[in-house]
Amino acid sequence: MARSMRPGRLVATLFLLAATGTAVWVLVRVVSESTLNTAAPAVSSTTSAPTTTPAPPTMSPAHKAPKPAVIGTTVPLGVYAGPGAVASASTFSAVAGAPVPYAFDYLDGTSWSTIENPAWFLQRWNGTGFRMMWGVPMLPSTGGATLAAGAAGAYNSYFTELAQVLVDGGQGSSLIVLGWDPGDPTVPWAATTPGAAQQYVAYWRAVVTAMRSVPNQQFLFVWDAAAGYGVLPSALYPGNAYVDVVATDAFDVGLGLVGPSWNELASAAYGPDWFATFADQHKKLFMIAKWGVVPAAASGGGDDPTFVSQFLRWADRQNLVAAVVWDDGSWALTNGSFPRSAAMLHTVAAAGAVTPMAKAVGA
């Protein structure tokens, strides 16, 4: 048991505690007043907002809550500008108002020889500084190749050769968008019945296994799908072991005066929200493989800056690998047909430093 404290020592101790408390109170008061009197510099209307949100200051009636991060700071941009269109892709970066780290191109699917040896494309894109995304056809448009034969491994050698050509050509870390839009009945690898869906999945797995067998490859395989015909997208998913990135598209088709808002489009059955959730549930990266505005003549919203703004606000919350802008043909965002939409993209992209690559992808 502790001994009782003597009265004299008790008085001295109480006096010491009181003095210490007074010193601490004075120190806290000084620090607090110093903090409150050190205001952050005001941002004028002609000064760009910071691209990162600073730590919130000590709150008092004189302080407001910090503004949210600039829209677009987490939306790495890519561009599809047409086959081998290096100059157009480079120009797009200036028009967009921000660096564009990714370029997308579709390999020629005319024959097996054009698929397995994309020398024409490599000659144009190598050394441009873009990280490439390659749309790789699963079947050529000529010759009568089938999903069933592919599922049986009949075409594996073509994809092994393609992987070797890409690695030798300095494209071993490319993103491979294999057999995109399988629910589209117009593509050679269309899978619009349950039986075809099973063949598509088996064939996809065979192709990925063949390409991964090539030494020094570091490909990321992108499964790009959307609502299709006859088969649910989930039935076309090749499985977690064969997919690195889940992707879908986002165009303003149907967003006319009587059309849905972006939120309605995103939340529609098998719309972008569904794919974002699907990617999260499967612990996969997420990407918008194609997005943009659509001419009114094609049932789109035309020059629709609201769509661009709303899409980028949504994309800013998704931690995307990339959002690839369609900038080719009559749907090209920056071809002059959609000046207000292009201006909105520039405004959003130039407002902050667009991330050169999603953090999850790495170097």
pLDDT at 10 over 50: no
**259 or 2: whose pLDDT is higher?**
259
Averaged pLDDT score across all residues of the chain? 80
**Residue 33 burial (CB count, 10 A):** 10
pLDDT band for position 30 (cuts 50, 70, 90):
very low
Name the least confident of 43-52, 218-227, 230-239.
Answer: 43-52
pLDDT at 63 over 60: no
pLDDT at 190 over 50: yes
8 Å CB contact between 138 and 207: yes
Residues 6+ apart with CB under 8 A from 108: 83, 114, 115, 118, 120, 121
pLDDT at residue 260, as a whole number: 58
DSSP H helical segments within the chain, as ranges?
7-37, 86-96, 112-116, 119-125, 147-151, 156-168, 194-212, 262-266, 272-281, 305-315, 339-351
Contacts of 159-163 with C-beta under 8 Å, sequence gap 24+, read 159/116, 159/207, 159/210, 159/211, 160/210, 160/211, 160/213, 160/214, 161/116, 161/117, 162/115, 162/116, 162/117, 162/118, 162/136, 162/211, 163/210, 163/211, 163/212, 163/213, 163/214, 163/217, 163/219
| Tokens at 225, concatenated | 């799908």
pLDDT at residue 338, as a whole number: 95
pLDDT at 334 over 80: yes
Phi, psi of 23 (to 5 degrees): -65, -45
The CATH topology of domain 77-351 is TIM Barrel (3.20.20)
pLDDT at residue 74, as a whole number: 67
pLDDT at 23 over 70: no
pLDDT at residue 181, as a whole number: 96
Taking phi over 0 as left and psi of -120 to 50 as alpha, with beta for the rest, 250 belongs to beta
- 102-160 pLDDT, tens digit each: 999 999 999 999 999 999 999 999 999 999 999 999 999 999 999 999 999 999 999 99
Mean pLDDT value across residues 351-355: 52
Residue 27's identity, in one-letter code, is L
Within 13 A of 73's CA, how many CA atoms are on the CB side? 12
pLDDT band for position 8 (cuts 50, 70, 90):
very low
pLDDT at residue 77, as a whole number: 94
Q: Residue 225 gets which letter from DSSP? A: -
